[in-house]
Structure 1
Amino acid sequence: MAFLPEASILEDSLDLAFSAVQWIQFVMATLSVIGSSSLIAYAVFQNIQKSPEMRPLFYLSFSDLLLGICWLIEALLYGTSTVNKDIICYNLQAVGQIFYISSFLYTVNYIWYLYKELRMKHNQSGQSTFPLVIDNTCRVGQIVIILSSLIPLLLMIPVFCLGNASECFRNFSQSHRCILIYSPPSAMAELLPSANTSICNTLYFYGLAIFLASFLLSLLTILVLLIQAQMLYKKFVKSTGFLGSEQWAVIHIVEQRVRYYPVAFFCCWGPAVILMVIKLIKPQDTKLHMVLYILQALTASSQGLLNCGVYGWTQYKFFQLKQEARRDADTQTPLLCSQKRFYSRGLDPLESTLTFATSSSTIL
């Protein structure tokens, strides 16, 4: 009996935590929908959604938009008495997982494109790039975009078919499962026959394994591309070839996007992955779980907002770099620019980049 007050306090704390999760998820999902919609609208109004760079980013933003809508509906459903709420929550979670995995693959695809763009410009600065290589790169990019949509859908077919046939949606909206990613199906054991319980538990671990495997593979691929891009950018900084100021601005912004999109990716999904791993080790709710619940609601729901912020900030920096390089090119003499090129060896990469861009544009 001595443990009852402590258990009651923990239960009250969980109710407060999940109430906070609901409102945080509602706000962040709304912002994510606005952010991803802004990127889509920008691409459409500028008529650049079919350009090689914007195509993977456009699909990533569209996936973020649909995912944000799923988060938003789940937050609105929580605490209501909607008819067939269990079925809606179960299938919304399955649809959300399709968009989780799609967003992982689209993020990898976009960073892969940025790396290929950086490598192509490096080849162009030293030697000509064959049109056949560029065409093959575009074809591969189109195939990867199609697979990024098709693979998650195929992987989730068992969850839809077997899950609904076995009525795994029973009691799904209780225990806060409608607003959590992969909450263990512990409450179903008393409501379902043993055969159905076995199927539902198997589907739960199947979905969890797919999510963790896709995240880890995506993160590993992104890290490899990031390391390769950083090595390539260092070669650019140390190179002695002549490039115009706008070319250097493009190269620098592509390198920044290769760095910042992985940071946004990990910030969004890192807390959710950590929470899942801890829940597997310690299924019982603790204070650490409550902190991670709130942190997950803040980060996982904000992918569309963060991706929009990264692209918008790098676009602003791109125009700023172009203007600074042009002003510097207009005010410096060719002799001074050539001297600055040699003195810039001791500067940091950004200063060296801008100085070298100014020298190239002035001489040309």
Structure 2
Amino acid sequence: KVPMAFLLEVYSAIQWIQFVMATLSIIGSSSLIAYAVFQNIQKSPEMRPLFYLSFSDLLLGICWLIEALLYGTSAANKDIVCYNLQAVGQIFYISSFLYTVNYVWYLYKELRMKHTQSGQSTFSLVIDNTYRVGQIAIISSSLIPLLLMIPVFCLGNASECFRNFSQNHRCILMHSPPSAMAELLPSANTSVCRTLYFYGLIIFLASFLLSLFTIVVLLIQAQTLYKKFVKSTGFLGSEQWAAIHIVEQRVRFYPVAFLCCWGPAVILMIIKLIEPQNTKLHMALYILQALTASSQGLLNCGVYGWTQYKFFQLKQETRRDADTQTPLLSSQKRFYSRGLDPLDSTLAFATSTSTTL
């Protein structure tokens, strides 16, 4: 068991880490929202999930920032505020899971429509259906987390779980376990509060694992469809192979980035189920969780900026390559790629894939 003095030092370090990373996350998500609004692309089908994902990251960052500021203070009703902030935060990060899945699903459907396109009328009908399904999915991504957390709000506040689980570090740790002193408190609702604690933990683990599995499956399917789509044109230009290589990197990168962001929190939750008492391993995971989970908005901003830079670089190289070709080579390239313009179609798909986490 870890000494209390060491615990307090770790909690103080976590407070400052969470404060810094939440601030950077707010800046990153705000910049993505501002970019989408400034470019007037927030309503486009490929940008809408990213816009809502960034908005969830912004609200989640604000929650974590308030929690970090409340830690160690003697504010009135701090236990109530921290308890409800934790529940609100869980709504936002479950929503971010679903919005990420939403966007990957859109990319897969878009590629599938291009691959199976046979007629303009059928294609328009498929676009309309995908647009409607996308709207329903976005609305569901907001409503489902809220409905799942209603018991935590209603039963938790009615049973005064903020008293039974009262600990000073509640404001900086996700899913802080029930206090060891809770069993000694004169409350008839301790069992309800413990049930709600495990309910929230299971909801978090289930939503993360299901989202990660769905993202991996969809991205692998998208990679396979993309190769078939490019090879079906009968000609593979250098920019097409370069785009395939970048898509293959993204298929590996996005699940890894998603896992790195929330993996420490998931591992910590599983270890807590096995060993509730704090150990040095718990402390290390607490710190790692504060570094990764609080930085989701910053990570989204970095991924978006990196992918935009890579495709801008690819576009510039393609144009330089076109400028240095002889007229005969240029005409041959246009002839072989008549069904799929190697610059516009490849970069259009690649750019649309660059905005997801």
TM-score, with normalisation over the residues of structure 1? Answer: 0.85
> Letter of the aligned partner of 1:357 in structure 2?
P
249-258 or 107-116, larger mean C-alpha shift: 249-258
> Letter of the aligned partner of 1:205 in structure 2?
F
CA–CA distance in 2 between the matches of 1:192 and 1:101?
34
Shift of 1:252: 7.2
Please state if 1:189 is matched with 2:174.
no
Residue number in structure 1 paired with 2:208? 215
SS of the aligned residue for 1:82 comes to coil
Retained in 2: the 8 A contact 1:35–1:304?
Answer: yes
Which of these residues, 123, 132, 137, is aligned with residue 139 of structure 1? 132
Retained in 2: the 8 A contact 1:108–1:218?
Answer: yes
Q: Structure 1's 141 and 312: CA in aligned 2 closer, same or farther, altered over 3 A?
A: same
Shift of 1:133: 0.6
Please state if 1:32 is matched with 2:25.
yes
CA–CA distance in 2 between the matches of 1:234 and 1:250?
10
Q: Deviations over 1:226-276 (max 9, x none)?
A: 211221233245444468999988887776655543332211111000001
SS of the aligned residue for 2:109 comes to helix
CA–CA distance in 2 between the matches of 1:120 and 1:243?
20
User: Superposition RMSD on alpha carbons, in Å?
Assistant: 2.9
Retained in 1: the 8 A contact 2:230–2:240?
Answer: no
Residue number in structure 1 paired with 2:36? 43
CA–CA distance in 1 between the matches of 2:142 and 2:244?
29
SS of the aligned residue for 1:130 comes to helix
Residue number in structure 1 paired with 2:325? 332
Runs of 4+ in structure 1 off by over 4 angstroms are 126-129, 242-259, 334-341
What residue ranges of structure 2 are gaps of 5+ in the alignment?
Answer: 335-340, 347-357
Q: Deviations over 1:34-57 (max 9, x none)?
A: 000000000001100000111010
CA–CA distance in 2 between the matches of 1:11 and 1:57?
42
Which of these residues, 92, 100, 110, is aligned with residue 107 of structure 1? 100
- Percent of counterpart pairs with the same letter? 85
Q: Deviations over 1:257-309 (max 9, x none)?
A: 55543332211111000001001101111111111000000000011111111
Q: Structure 1's 119 and 259: CA in aligned 2 closer, same or farther, altered over 3 A?
A: farther
Q: Deviations over 1:64-111 (max 9, x none)?
A: 100010111111111111110000000000101111110110010011
> Letter of the aligned partner of 1:152 in structure 2?
P
> Letter of the aligned partner of 1:227 in structure 2?
I
SS of the aligned residue for 1:230 comes to helix
Matches within 5 A, 1:1-364: 10-123=3-116, 130-170=123-163, 172-186=165-179, 187-193=181-187, 195-241=188-234, 259-333=252-326, 335-336=328-329, 357=342
CA–CA distance in 2 between the matches of 1:96 and 1:47?
28
CA–CA distance in 2 between the matches of 1:55 and 1:256?
24
CA–CA distance in 1 between the matches of 2:280 and 2:328?
65
Retained in 2: the 8 A contact 1:22–1:75?
Answer: yes
Retained in 2: the 8 A contact 1:86–1:171?
Answer: no
Q: How many correspondences in the alignment?
A: 338
CA–CA distance in 2 between the matches of 1:71 and 1:173?
18
Retained in 2: the 8 A contact 1:65–1:304?
Answer: yes
Q: Deviations over 1:134-158 (max 9, x none)?
A: 1100100000000000011111111
208-217 or 168-177, larger mean C-alpha shift: 168-177
CA–CA distance in 1 between the matches of 2:104 and 2:257?
12
Retained in 1: the 8 A contact 2:223–2:247?
Answer: no
Retained in 2: the 8 A contact 1:230–1:255?
Answer: yes
